[in-house]
């Protein structure tokens, strides 16, 4: 095992006058007449294509509008919207004129929005619809710097275009030319899984460097052979922002913007992406949907065998071993009966899937790999402009998050903490100098808060989070994530949260997946519409979950095992503060919200 590793990347350079807008301007010079983005029309399955030239024109028109409104270099503007093509236009327009974009998650409350607006001194806000416009409007009086709110559904783009008529091309070009790589591009507020959100200040160099590095390291997915990306992750998240830039920076990549996933399957079939990005929950739902569609009869048994065969095939492949004759025969049969159908559900041209944001089950990664869809896994933070490391198409070792991006370094610091250094590392937290100082070591490495190991080839394996480590009353250190991942494999489980800090034993809180539950209950001759509260107390439901708890316990010592669990009659949501907008579990919030349940149902009378 290594203590430090740097991925060679001498060719990854960012000139001092390069900005995020430069990515679009360079694309325009290469392929101005080709399609660069697509927006879904009113109904599913129908798309409107926009060429690079048209997109560039829209960006310049919006940029002129911002200038006419009085937005100067360094001024903050908020985008409060779902993922849609206008988001991309506004983002590039703000980058062009040296303004600072301050995205707000489309699920954030008015109070959360107010804090962000005031902390970053936002002058102009743009919401997408009436509901989000109203959320901002209700707190406008408490935001002294905020002058106006525009609404995309009420022709905000037209309003900017009209305003911009007074700004000349010469004035705009002068503003564009003044941009520098080290200018502040955006303030992105962390989703708060480990405390109050902090505004990460990211520069143009941060994003341009990681786009160039990723295009080199993952060119098979991002740049080669006419790549097409269907983007439905929230653009307030750096992960989505980065891949939007990478797609637009490629020679002929096309990014489709999908505001919601209610008609995801027909949209996938019609848009025909070649790769998809998602968080683990997205791919869990794809797998569970395929399993439910197969049912519980012979088709269900066939799917289960095919899934097991795919996982075994991938593990054999990863071990560098030759498959047996039986495996080859099974694979040929399952390819025509199962695998082709699962891949086809993601679109007829799908080649890769990529996952980040949270740990992914090893079995799920092996499943996708085994059916012929390499699962690229990455690691990053808001503070690193999203990705910092990723597995490669030609070196996709499941269980690791790959090597650092070209030109970046990792090391194992005190206590086993992963620390990182590279051109995409942020410059600090907005208005929080003390927090910024805490984030870096004395020699300039960013502390990630994650526990990890580095193998002899520089591949990183994340083993847990420092703040997540549970220390029982008996002094046993327990990493909850492996246990939670194993329990969450249960088809009726949505989330598992392991608890037990300073307690006599390890326990767990479990929430139910309504879709999985509705499909599973009839297999036990129980009503599919059983209320969550009733299901949570059902003996057969508990027995099914116990099976997966037992499997989790088989991987650890008795002192680390889950001795007792509670099935909650409610779900973890953003409304109860237990999930971040990027769907990560907020462990402190879970412990706080369900403190009475933990005390009463897990540890009553135990000290």
Please check the confidence at residue 607 and state whether its pLDDT lies above 50: no
pLDDT at residue 191, rounded to an integer: 64
Percent of the chain past pLDDT 90, that is, above it, reads 78
- Average pLDDT of 344-362? 89
> H or E element: which one contains 404?
strand 403-404
pLDDT at residue 282, rounded to an integer: 83
- Average pLDDT of 93-105? 97
- Average pLDDT of 109-136? 96
- Average pLDDT of 268-275? 94
Read off the pLDDT of residues 206-258 as tens digits, 9 standing for 90 and up. 999 999 999 999 999 999 999 999 999 999 999 999 999 999 999 999 999 99
Read off the pLDDT of residues 547-576 as tens digits, 9 standing for 90 and up. 999 999 998 888 889 999 999 999 998 888
Lowest mean pLDDT among 190-194, 265-269, 361-365: 190-194
pLDDT at residue 192, rounded to an integer: 56
Q: Which residues of 514-527 are buried (b: 16+ CB within 10 A; e: fewer)?
A: eebbbbbbeeeebe
- Average pLDDT of 187-195? 73
The more confidently predicted of residues 457 and 280 is: 457
Q: In sequence order, what DSSP letters do the residues of 265-328 get, joined into one string? A: HHHHHHH--SEEEE-HHHHHHHHHHHHHHH-SSHHHHHHHHHHHHHHHHHHHHHTTPPPPHHHH
Q: What is the DSSP letter of 91?
A: H
How far, in Å, are 114, 132, 145, 148, 468 from residue 138 at the CA level?
9, 10, 15, 13, 36
Helix axes 238-249, 204-217, angle to 10 degrees: 70
Phi-psi region of 370 (alpha: psi -120 to 50; beta: other; left: phi over 0): alpha
Two structure tokens written together for 465: 């989070």
Q: Per-residue confidence at 420, pLDDT binned at 50, 70, 90?
A: very high
Query: How far, in Å, CA of 477 to CA of 354, rounded?
Result: 32
Q: What does pLDDT average to over the chain? A: 93
Two structure tokens written together for 315: 């593990």
Three-state secondary structure call for residue 446: strand
Q: Per-residue confidence at 471, pLDDT binned at 50, 70, 90?
A: confident
Q: Per-residue confidence at 452, pLDDT binned at 50, 70, 90?
A: very high
Among 589, 601, 401, which Cα is nearest to 495's? 589
Read off the pLDDT of residues 368-382 as tens digits, 9 standing for 90 and up. 999 999 999 999 999
Lowest mean pLDDT among 81-95, 267-281, 409-423: 267-281
How far, in whole angstroms, is CA 53 from its chain's centroid? 30
Read off the pLDDT of residues 486-502 as tens digits, 9 standing for 90 and up. 999 999 999 999 999 88
Please give the backbone phi and psi of residue 112, each rounded to the nearest 5 degrees, phi first.
-65, -40
Contact between residue 445 and residue 362 where contact means Cβ atoms under 8 Å apart: no
The more confidently predicted of residues 403 and 282 is: 403
Read off the pLDDT of residues 40-53 as tens digits, 9 standing for 90 and up. 887 667 899 999 99
Domains of the chain by start residue, with CATH: 15-218+238-260 (3.40.50.12780), 280-466 (3.40.50.12780), 469-602 (3.30.300.30)
């Amino acid at each position: 095992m290594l203590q430090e590793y740097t991925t060679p990347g001498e060719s990854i350079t960012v000139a001092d006058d390069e900005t995020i807008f430069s990515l679009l301007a360079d694309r325009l010079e290469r392929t101005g007449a080709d399609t660069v983005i697509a927006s879904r029309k009113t109904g599913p399955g129908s798309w409107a294509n926009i060429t690079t030239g048209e997109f560039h024109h829209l960006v310049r028109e919006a940029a002129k509008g911002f200038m006419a409104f009085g937005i100067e270099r360094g001024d903050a503007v908020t985008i409060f919207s779902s993922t849609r093509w206008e988001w991309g236009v506004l983002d590039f327009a703000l980058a062009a004129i040296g303004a600072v974009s301050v995205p707000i998650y489309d699920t954030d409350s008015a109070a959360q929005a107010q804090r962000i607006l005031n902390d970053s001194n936002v002058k102009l806000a743009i919401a997408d619809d009436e509901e989000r416009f109203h959320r901002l409007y209700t707190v406008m009086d408490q935001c002294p710097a905020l002058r106006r709110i525009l609404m995309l559904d009420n022709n905000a783009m037209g309003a900017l275009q009209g305003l911009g008529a007074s700004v000349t091309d010469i004035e705009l070009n002068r503003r564009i030319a003044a941009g520098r790589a080290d200018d502040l591009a955006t303030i992105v507020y962390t989703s708060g899984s480990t405390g109050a959100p902090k505004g990460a200040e990211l520069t143009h160099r941060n994003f341009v460097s990681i786009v160039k590095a990723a295009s080199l390291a993952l060119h098979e997915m991002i740049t080669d052979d006419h790549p097409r990306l269907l983007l439905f992750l929230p653009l307030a998240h750096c992960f989505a922002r980065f891949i939007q830039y990478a797609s637009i920076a490629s020679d002929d990549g096309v990014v489709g913007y999908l505001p919601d996933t209610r008609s995801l399957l027909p949209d996938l079939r019609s848009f025909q992406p070649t790769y998809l990005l998602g968080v683990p929950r997205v791919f869990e739902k794809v797998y569970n949907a395929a399993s439910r569609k197969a049912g519980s009869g012979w088709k269900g048994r066939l799917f289960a065998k095919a899934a097991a065969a795919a996982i075994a095939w991938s593990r054999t492949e990863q071990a560098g071993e030759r498959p047996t004759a039986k495996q080859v025969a099974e694979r040929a049969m399952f390819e025509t009966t199962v695998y082709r159908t699962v891949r086809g559900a993601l679109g007829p041209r799908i080649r890769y899937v990529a996952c980040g944001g949270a740990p992914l089950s090893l079995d799920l990664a092996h499943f996708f790999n085994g059916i012929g869809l390499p699962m690229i896994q990455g690691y990053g933070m808001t503070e690193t402009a999203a990705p910092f490391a990723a597995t490669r198409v030609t070196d996709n070792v499941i269980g690791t998050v790959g090597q650092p991006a070209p030109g970046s370094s990792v090391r194992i610091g005190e206590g086993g903490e992963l620390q990182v250094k590279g051109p995409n590392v942020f410059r600090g937290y907005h208005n929080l100098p003390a927090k910024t100082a805490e984030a870096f070591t004395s020699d300039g490495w960013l502390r990630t808060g994650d526990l990890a190991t580095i193998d002899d080839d520089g591949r990183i394996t994340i083993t847990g989070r420092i703040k997540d480590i549970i220390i029982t009353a008996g002094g046993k250190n327990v990493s909850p994530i492996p246990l939670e991942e194993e329990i969450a494999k249960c088809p009726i489980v949505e989330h598992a949260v392991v608890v037990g800090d300073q307690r006599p034993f390890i326990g767990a809180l479990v929430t139910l997946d309504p879709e999985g539950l509705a499909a599973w209950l009839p297999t036990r001759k129980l009503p599919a519409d059983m209320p969550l509260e009733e299901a949570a107390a059902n003996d057969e439901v508990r027995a099914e979950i116990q099976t997966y708890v037992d499997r989790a316990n088989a991987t650890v010592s008795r002192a680390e095992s889950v001795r007792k669990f509670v099935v909650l009659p409610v779900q973890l949501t953003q409304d109860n503060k237990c999930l971040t907008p990027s769907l990560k579990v907020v462990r402190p919030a879970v412990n706080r919200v369900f403190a009475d349940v933990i005390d009463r149902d897990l540890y009553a009378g135990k000290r």
